[in-house]
Structure 1
């Protein structure tokens, strides 16, 4: 896979960290602004870059913090289609949780199970019990 030019990568790293700080301090809208700006720096097609995957996943996380499940789902779908998103436990978890929160529980099962298979119960530790219970109710985990 191609690598981003150093100057672009460094700018994206700074914006990404600024977004992380904003989200950690309860400012999801500010975080979203930083991450959207960082995405704008990626050469087309954006989806080929691993940075797109983690930027979209970060956006999804920020939208979840705002209880904006539709935009969270859209961001996690973009993360899933970018870089190695289909093999990233956090992306799969975000995709599954977003679907679940939109009451699309049947569609949520596969990405939640993929996240569980990659990371085990640890990835669910800061979330309400419902997501793991959903997998258990489907008799997919103990």
Structure 2
């Protein structure tokens, strides 16, 4: 048994939980999706923040809580994703941090994260909800 085998097996198991969560989310079964992604997270060795999987699992959990209308909990999970490997430079994570902050009335934090997402991806990242792009326009942060 070589050193790679456990890592490959772990990756496969985490990916299974991730895919299960994705299917549940698509079916609108948010609690089941969250449970699957949390199972995937629980498999990751400490410190979890160093693993790329933490980024997408935490962001997925955040997205499910956001879909449920629990913006505070969603924000917590997007913040966890932000603190994980490459999370601070991930445009989706920055977008969702910005949308959560905006929905919670935290305008400065919203603008900072939305602007960062815009700088990384342009207007396209706001395709699903243009009102968050308007926050940047209202603050005259865009040309």
TM class by shorter-chain length? over 0.9
Note if 1:42 corresponds to 2:44: yes
- Where structure 2 has 5 or more consecutive residues not aligned to the other structure, the ranges are none
TM-score, with normalisation over the residues of structure 2?
A: 0.94
1:116 corresponds to which residue?
118
Q: Deviations over 1:43-97 (max 9, x none)?
A: 0000010100110010111011001000000000000000100010001011111
Per-residue deviation at 1:40?
0.1
| 1:48-67 → structure 2 map (5 Å cutoff) | 48-67=50-69
Q: What is the count of residue pairs matched by the alignment?
A: 139
Distance 1:34 1:115 in 2: 28
**Unpaired runs of at least 5, structure 1:** none
Corresponding residue to 1:25 among 13, 16, 27? 27
Q: Counterpart of 1:130?
A: 131
TM-score, normalization by structure 1: 0.94
Query: What is aligned with 1:11?
Result: 13
Bigger CA radius of gyration: 2
